[in-house]
Structure 1
Amino acid sequence: MKHKVILVVLDGLNHDVARHAMGHLQAYVSAGRATLYKLTCELPALSRPLYECILTGVPPIESGIVHNNVSRLSHQRSVFHYAREAGLSTAAAAYHWVSELYNRSPFIAARDRHTEDSDLPIQHGHFYWNDHYPDSHLFADAESLRLRHTPDFLLVHPMNIDDAGHKHGLDSSQYRNSARSADIVLADYLQGWLDAGYQVLVTADHGMNNDRSHNGLLPEEREVPLFVLGDAFSLDPQATPKQTELCGTICQLLGVAHDKPLCQTLLRPAP
């Protein structure tokens, strides 16, 4: 069965902070309508390498996107590529590095910030480049894309949690409150997405440490949340998804051919 999918990547969100600060998402978990899993991100725990990992299923050491300054198109096939090859529509409201990975590199704001091109892997895009670009605006950008284009796959990628972590550190009210704020903004859209038939995954690329950074092996840097919501998910608490399995799992939900690893136990068995 084919489903539409929304992937939300809350940049820099540590698992434990997600677990205790994301009250709206946790309400779905408490109601038996969602499950929260703990993922261990791949290494290095840096943003651009892990965008590539999430969207292609390939760890950084194999993709060659090994730090944030590797600015080029991906050499891998992403969810966007698989969806487009299957005739599906794609969209993203995301940091400009996502555009550089899958559409055009380098990012030229006047050309690429607002993308409408049926021939690109990401057909419809709103891309930003300031880490403090408000999450409220980013979610509105994403919802505008959804309402105008009804994409089969939509990536939503805000940056304020990571920005607060770099400015104030993991154990700070600013970082925790940024996570709470993202949860509140998400609450304006989540049920509407589910009612429209979307399967929703909410995760993070990496976590944060008290040095106001991330790149190493500390659990707080590597442990990230994965909330799944929608009737295509098993909600099995025993499932053990990996970050490298997100791409294949999303492709499976979309019903498109792919050659990526996936977490089958995340998904409800086909009738």
Structure 2
Amino acid sequence: MNKVIMVVIDGLQYQVASTQMGYLNHLVELNKAAYYKVKSELPSMSRPLYEVLLTGTPSSVNGITSNDIQRLSTQKSLFHLTKENGMRNAASAFYWVSELYNRAPFHKVEDRQQADETKPIQYGTFYYDDFYPDSHLLLDAEVLRRKHDPHFLYIHTMGVDNTGHIYGSDSKQYRKAAINMDSQLAELIPAWIKEGYHIVITADHGMNTDGTHGGTGNDERDVPFFIISERVKPGYHEQVIPQLAMSPFICKLLGISPSEAMIEYDFSGIMV
């Protein structure tokens, strides 16, 4: 079955994911998941990196160069590609994702809940407050999954990023936010595995000790990449993966061709 759940944990630093996310690392230790480090694109800001993750194109190509650019993407995203290939897709995500692929600007009343198979994102639940609880967001996603059975489900949480901005990455609050996210995923992942999904868990960018991101430091650019799939060799991998590899890799998992703008990368452990 070619179905993928992609979880993007906004603002999750690689080092904190490695030391605080006990359940996900447990799966890696037991050879039930693979773990890589990803080097994010620049600028290490949210909206530009949503576009990178979903279209496999850098800011110099796609033009989404800052958080303040409010317009539809000009690139083919994973949503466009799945729709073109007769697949269903869904997203439970921050409203900037809706603005990139369905409509800009975002209308709170009209766009929070979406169900339109003619749009790139066919089914969606979108939030607009940074402090929207991750527990609610994950439940929104699970409702979409059970109701619409999407081939590609995109889940994007904000709690870790919001906590990092308030307290910085070297804080008990930030580490606790990562632990809480790990615990909430631990409630859902076993069912996803049982139902045969390929599961990808990553982040857009990291976080520095000042509670910011956008620059070139490792704290801001190094993010985790967990993969639960029989098509990837489990365990810890030393190879650092470019973030541009994400979209074409997910296309492989889905069994569809990448867009012409995507660049396919070969990295260790891939058996697709």
* TM band (smaller chain): over 0.9
Secondary structure at 1:53's aligned position in 2? helix
Show the counterpart of 1:71.
70
Q: Which residue of 2 aligns with 1:94?
A: 93
State the distance in 1 between where 2:145 and 2:227 align: 19
CA offset digits 1:224-263 (Å, max 9, x no partner): 0000012122337255432101111111111112232234
TM-score (norm 2): 0.96
Q: String of CA shifts for 1:22-57, please: whole Å, max 9, x gaps.
A: 001011001001121111100000000000000000
In structure 2, how many angstroms separate the alpha carbons of the residues matched to 1:165 and 1:59?
25
Alignment partners' CA distance in 2, 1:88 and 1:145: 15
Which secondary structure state, in structure 2, belongs to the residue aligned with residue 190 of structure 1?
helix
User: What is the alpha-carbon distance in structure 2 between the residues aligned to residue 238 and residue 162 of structure 1?
Assistant: 25
Which letter does structure 2 place at the counterpart of 1:204?
A: A
The residue aligned with 2:201 is 202
2:256 alignment counterpart: 256
Is contact 1:3-1:198 (8 Å) kept? yes
Q: Helix, strand or coil: the match of 2:216? A: coil
For the aligned residues, what is the CA RMSD? 1.3
Equivalent residues in 2 for 1:30-179, closer than 5 Å: 30-179=29-178
The 2-side partners of 1:64 and 1:227 are apart by 28
Q: Distance in 2 between matches of 1:267 and 1:84?
A: 28
Aligned to 1:215: 214
The whole-number CA distance in structure 1 between the counterparts of 2:49 and 2:119 is 21
CA displacement at 1:148 relative to structure 2: 0.5
Shift in Å, 1:267? 6.2
The code of the aligned residue for 1:269 comes to M
SS in 2 for 1:227: strand
CA contact (8 A) 1:244 1:261 kept: yes
Give the conservation status (yes or no) of the 8 Å contact 1:169–1:209: yes
User: Structure 1, residues 108-146: CA drift from partner, whole Å, max 9, x if none?
Assistant: 011110000010111010000001100000000000000
Q: Which stretch of structure 1 is more off in the superposition, 237-246 or 13-22?
A: 237-246
Distance 2:146 2:239 in 1: 33
| TM-aligned CA distance change 1:60 to 1:159, over 3 Å | same
Q: For residue 210 of structure 2, what is the amino acid of its counterpart?
A: D
Report runs of 4+ in structure 1 exceeding 4 Å deviation: none
Alpha-carbon distance in 2 for matches of 1:200, 1:262 = 19
Give the alignment's TM-score, normalised by structure 1: 0.96
Q: Which runs of 5+ in 2 are unaligned?
A: none
Q: Is the 8 A contact 2:37 2:238 kept in 1?
A: no
1:157 partner SS:
strand
Where does the alignment leave 5 or more consecutive residues of structure 1 unmatched? none
Q: Residues 266 and 121 of structure 1: is their aligned pair in 2 closer, same or farther, counting only changes over 3 Å?
A: farther
One-letter identity of the residue aligned with 2:271: P
Instruction: Return the alpha-carbon distance in structure 1 between the equivalents of residues 171 and 138 of structure 2.
Output: 24
Partner of 2:247: 247
